Amino acid sequence: MHDLTPDDMERLPRHVAIIMDGNGRWARSRGKPRLFGHRNGVENVRTVVNTAFKIGVPYLTLYAFSTENQNRPGDEKSGLMRLLEEFLKRELKTLMGDRIRLRAIGDLDGLPDFARNAVKHTIEKTKENEDWNLTLALNYGSRQEVLRAIQSFAADDRDPDIELDWPTFSRYLETKDLPDPDLIIRTSGEFRLSNFLLLQAAYAEIFVSPLHWPDFGRDAFVDALKDYTRRERRFGKTSDQLTTSPEPAFPANP
């Protein structure tokens, strides 16, 4: 099914997050409209999700629509939302059969009613699934998430003597039920995080592929996983320290 060795399988990331970039450029290179690229990008989502969970990556997060994407032309945004609705309706049976739980992070109130309803319906239907976890970042921006977390923390009725540390603050983030990402993949050759999981990615490994998202299929995804398994994650320690104490400098989220 894949080209990963037994050693690779023992070192797989627990949580992979992907910035799916390049649909528009992929379409333009073929003389097609941007929505043609987005539609093919959605088809590739099916491939990568299927590959991730068959290999054994329990958490996958996809950056599907950012807060900054709200600045795109209205027809492109509408087309993207229709593709989202179509994807969720089409894939619900597969999500249930494979026991994949869907989550969403981001301000869903900023989505059209039909898209928001499709997301919430799928979240509700899959909430009891426990084997695998798919998270869609929709109308999401990390800076906006942090501001909302600060507001929630300030408004919370809590013991004033509780010290504010990362484990405490992380419980106010939208990713509170997810482990921090181990690997962030960005396609289309761009070297930036684009307001995606900025705090959660503090110690994530980053893999940049020159391929546009519709071309980033099974083999490319497996290559990214293989690259990850060959990296040394030090969490601020030295290599010598890791040989005697391989544990991370701080615990990941549950």
Task: List the catalytic residues.
Answer: 21, 69
**Among the listed residues 145, 143, 138, the one whose alpha carbon sits nearest the alpha carbon of residue 123:** 138
Structure tokens that stand for 188 in this block:
């289309």
CB 235 within 8 A of CB 58: no
Find all residues with CB under 8 Å of 6, minimum gap 6, and list them: none
Give residue for tokens 């921006």: 141
Residue 208 three-state SS: strand
Q: Where are the beta strands (DSSP E) in the chain?
A: 15-19, 59-66, 100-105, 132-140, 183-186, 205-208
Return the DSSP state at 172: T
CB 172 within 8 A of CB 195: no
